[in-house]
A and B are shown apart, each in its own frame.
Chain A
């Protein structure tokens, strides 16, 4: 690798330099990134064989109808059939990809719309959710991704929105007759405002949350119906009129007349266009691509592009690449564990022998895909990824990884291909003085520069 711009393109915007990457990138690092911005990125071939979410969902719904034990065992089966193989294949696809910027964007948006296996019922569906509701939109329009996510049965289940019953809906009246209280669920609505659009500091009050919850009451799936509903069970999204709160709703000062499913769609469209949303998303993106502390000017610029293009993520992504701030410091960000594992495999050209080679380190570091500690997703701040204990685990894994590298992969080659001009003198000296090639390679992988991006 000859220049710092290549390093930034491959690491901050990509997923780490693989052998031969530098040659592809060096002529035009920015152009290389932008060439990956395609309105509809193709699904990596290795992921095409996995089940669609309605299939997985339907199996789970059926098991649920059969009782608790049946459900527990159905979840376990589906986890080992649908979840684990797909996260391994997805990780492998990211190790091998030629379009790492597009894949990084998948990771970013998937984390933005984080769903966790902590909710056991949805676990098996999460990789399919990413494949169906995130991937197709990473260079599309934000409002489309937002609607795809919020109407995905995985998200509906994650926040139990199918159980959300408008007070004056048919189901609400029945429940009141049976002596049950108010059953409107506000979790998805709160997350939409707090995490997906306006942000925590966004200017909204509890009444906005409640009315958004009312607007999306009835956003459901094919297994939550009134008893007299004759429709067969299925695994798709379904608008359930019988659960929907009738009447006008008022969100952020705007009144939405009763319009069934379309009501929620309109609110989401408006939220996606809201200036606070533009700022909130821009801040997150700049934090991800520039610095833990996002420079204000960069945030302003991305906010403007987001607003001007009504959330066209292709334009926003290109604008990120054009940020001067992104090309100054070579590696201000720390790789999270997932990025570290991917980039280590990429850097060494050492293909994982089996799925466990990929999943074991992620499990021991505590970053299995789709297990973020909260719906806010994984942290995007460096200090959270090099806390003392886990830094030692990273070091141990990298040290052990280095023992498995072929002796014909020379430390000089690894240093040149992965860090190049970014390697500090202290690192070069440490590598040069390492008592064996194996230890030299471990030093390169464990160096601050390699663990950063």
Chain B
């Protein structure tokens, strides 16, 4: 169990380092609204997090993975349901503070993780199309002087926050030992080199690179770290002179095998993290908060031979917070019929992530629309800010 007292002790030290390194002057900020951006690295399977459990094609395409009421899916509208690990979020949905955008995708259409993540983070519309991140460019729209509006949780600043605007970092996380997923990948890579292969196998004892021998990919340390990051985010964002935009990251989504078992933990971590944010921000700030959860791409609609799913296109975007007009499924739903699929394998990307992002920047953070179109998301004029995501739009 996570010990809250130890967090508070560590947290005050962490805040000191975060703020001592900053020579920023906290003048009055121009927006009082908060944005928390949660990056799920690895490609979240939206159909597993928000299963269209009532769809016959869904059940057909996923003989072992499909969730049904028997798996304690939490019904939302008779068609979609919540994965049981996300059940703690149901009250938010009911209260109108949580919405889902299925079949969401960035402009990325290939299937490489870090290309997809790079595009998602640089905002230019092509992988490696910009050396800085779109949230950093957005921050530069807040005004002349550098006020450290951005906050990165973790040892490094992710690309999405990289750029000319100075960013605060908060890193009190315990180093995580390499997870079983990483070791599994290494085991595969080491097949080319008997010396390394045998040594690695020996450290694993009975471990063989076969899916059914794997431990859960996310260690307790990672769970603690994500919750710790959520607590720190809330504590810092709640300050009237603190940062306004925070980026958190959570790994463990690349479920090519054994997906049902492996996704449970990260989904539960995500749900807990969002609740921790709400709890830590307090009602007053939560009302001004938007949480955006997004992954670089979705996964195949059909399950593969190892009870997992492979890289796909249409994914799932989640928004939470008091500023969100929630309790809804947002956007077009392409369906799961054979003709409906993208490239015959993926959920068709009907809803542009960039439209959602622009909407948040313009209506939630009050950034100038031309600035957003020209500087933050250049080359994206075809993607209009999605109206109606927020109470303010």
Interface, chain A (partner B; CB < 8 A): 334, 382-383, 386-389, 391-392, 395-396, 399-400, 403-408, 410-411, 424, 426-427, 430, 432-440, 442-443, 446-448, 451
Interface centre among B193, B251, B253 (most CB of A within 10 A): B193
Residues of B within 8 A of A399 (CB): 178, 182
Given contacts A433-B113, A434-B113, A435-B253, contact A443 B185 (CB under 8 A): yes
**When the two chains form the complex, which single residue of A382, A432, A448 contacts B112, counting CB atoms closer than 8 Å?**
A432
**When the two chains form the complex, which single residue of B159, B190, B196, B254 contacts A435, counting CB atoms closer than 8 Å?**
B254
B191 touches A383 (CB 8 A): no
Interface centre among B183, B186, B251 (most CB of A within 10 A): B186
Within the complex, the shortest CB–CB distance from A337 to chain B, in Å, comes to 14
- Closest B-chain residue to A413, C-beta based? B128
B26 within 8 A of A: no
Given contacts A386-B199, A436-B41, contact A446 B186 (CB under 8 A): yes
**Chain B, range 15-67, C-beta contacts under 8 Å to A:** 41-43
Within the complex, the shortest CB–CB distance from B261 to chain A, in Å, comes to 17
A437 touches B117 (CB 8 A): yes
Binary contact readout B100-139 vs A (1 if CB under 8 angstroms, 0 otherwise): 0000000000001110011001000000100100000000
B192 touches A426 (CB 8 A): yes
- Closest A-chain residue to B193, C-beta based? A448
Distance, CA A427 to CA B203, complexed state (A): 21
Interface secondary structure of A, over-half rule = helix
Residues of B within 8 A of A388 (CB): 199-200, 202-203
Distance, CA A434 to CA B269, complexed state (A): 21
**Chain B, range 173-219, C-beta contacts under 8 Å to A:** 175, 177-178, 181-183, 185-186, 188-193, 195-196, 199-200, 202-203
Stretch at the interface among B150-158, B226-234, B301-309: B150-158
Residues of B within 8 A of A446 (CB): 186, 189
**When the two chains form the complex, which single residue of A383, A408, A433, A447 contacts B159, counting CB atoms closer than 8 Å?**
A408
B83 within 8 A of A: no
Distance, CA A435 to CA B257, complexed state (A): 14
**When the two chains form the complex, which single residue of A383, A387, A404, A435 contacts B113, counting CB atoms closer than 8 Å?**
A435
Residues of A within 8 A of B186 (CB): 395, 430, 443, 446
Distance, CA A439 to CA B181, complexed state (A): 10
Given contacts A388-B203, A443-B185, contact A411 B114 (CB under 8 A): yes
B147 within 8 A of A: no
Residues of A within 8 A of B185 (CB): 430, 433-434, 439, 443
A439 touches B189 (CB 8 A): no
B386 within 8 A of A: no
Residues of B within 8 A of A334 (CB): 195
Distance, CA A392 to CA B181, complexed state (A): 14
A451 touches B192 (CB 8 A): no
A396 touches B190 (CB 8 A): no
B162 within 8 A of A: yes
Within the complex, the shortest CB–CB distance from B313 to chain A, in Å, comes to 16
- Closest A-chain residue to B163, C-beta based? A408
* Interface range on chain B (Cβ under 8 Å from partner): 35 or more
**When the two chains form the complex, which single residue of B112, B159, B189, B192 contacts A443, counting CB atoms closer than 8 Å?**
B189
A389 touches B203 (CB 8 A): yes
Distance, CA A67 to CA B373, complexed state (A): 78
Given contacts A382-B195, A435-B251, A436-B251, contact A410 B41 (CB under 8 A): no
A410 touches B128 (CB 8 A): yes
- Closest B-chain residue to A404, C-beta based? B155
**When the two chains form the complex, which single residue of B118, B192, B253, B254 contacts A437, counting CB atoms closer than 8 Å?**
B118
A407 touches B188 (CB 8 A): no
Within the complex, the shortest CB–CB distance from B186 to chain A, in Å, comes to 6
23 A-B pairs with C-beta separation under 8 A? A387-B199, A388-B199, A388-B200, A392-B203, A395-B183, A396-B177, A396-B178, A407-B162, A408-B131, A410-B128, A424-B192, A430-B189, A434-B113, A434-B185, A435-B42, A435-B251, A437-B159, A438-B156, A439-B182, A439-B251, A443-B186, A448-B192, A448-B195
- Closest A-chain residue to B173, C-beta based? A403
Distance, CA A20 to CA B16, complexed state (A): 38
Within the complex, the shortest CB–CB distance from A433 to chain B, in Å, comes to 7
Residues of A within 8 A of B181 (CB): 435
Distance, CA A340 to CA B53, complexed state (A): 50
B189 touches A440 (CB 8 A): no
Distance, CA A447 to CA B156, complexed state (A): 23
- Other A-B contacts than A334-B195, A395-B200, 18 sampled, CB-CB below 8 A, are A386-B196, A386-B199, A403-B154, A405-B156, A406-B157, A407-B158, A426-B192, A427-B192, A433-B185, A436-B42, A436-B117, A437-B114, A437-B159, A440-B113, A440-B114, A442-B182, A448-B190, A451-B196
Distance, CA A403 to CA B158, complexed state (A): 10
Distance, CA A102 to CA B138, complexed state (A): 49
Given contacts A388-B203, A400-B175, contact A434 B114 (CB under 8 A): yes
Distance, CA A392 to CA B202, complexed state (A): 10
Distance, CA A434 to CA B115, complexed state (A): 11
Distance, CA A211 to CA B371, complexed state (A): 87
B177 touches A436 (CB 8 A): no
Residues of B within 8 A of A424 (CB): 192
Residues of B within 8 A of A392 (CB): 200, 203
B156 touches A435 (CB 8 A): no
Distance, CA A395 to CA B190, complexed state (A): 12
Distance, CA A440 to CA B189, complexed state (A): 12
Distance, CA A341 to CA B41, complexed state (A): 28
B189 touches A447 (CB 8 A): yes
B155 touches A435 (CB 8 A): no
Binary contact readout B239-279 vs A (1 if CB under 8 angstroms, 0 otherwise): 00000000000010110000000000000000000000000
Given contacts A382-B195, A391-B200, A403-B155, contact A436 B189 (CB under 8 A): no
Distance, CA A437 to CA B113, complexed state (A): 8
B189 touches A427 (CB 8 A): yes
- Closest B-chain residue to A406, C-beta based? B156
- Closest A-chain residue to B252, C-beta based? A435
Interface centre among B121, B189, B203, B254 (most CB of A within 10 A): B189
Distance, CA A276 to CA B159, complexed state (A): 59
Distance, CA A2 to CA B158, complexed state (A): 30
Residues of A within 8 A of B188 (CB): 426, 430
Within the complex, the shortest CB–CB distance from A364 to chain B, in Å, comes to 12
Within the complex, the shortest CB–CB distance from B206 to chain A, in Å, comes to 13
4 tightest A-B CB contacts, nearest first: A435-B42, A435-B254, A448-B193, A436-B41
Distance, CA A334 to CA B157, complexed state (A): 33
Distance, CA A426 to CA B188, complexed state (A): 8
B157 touches A407 (CB 8 A): yes
Within the complex, the shortest CB–CB distance from A391 to chain B, in Å, comes to 5
**When the two chains form the complex, which single residue of A395, A427, A437 contacts B178, counting CB atoms closer than 8 Å?**
A395
Residues of A within 8 A of B42 (CB): 435-436
Within the complex, the shortest CB–CB distance from B173 to chain A, in Å, comes to 9
Distance, CA A279 to CA B185, complexed state (A): 44
Residues of B within 8 A of A436 (CB): 41-42, 113-114, 117, 251
Residues of B within 8 A of A383 (CB): 195
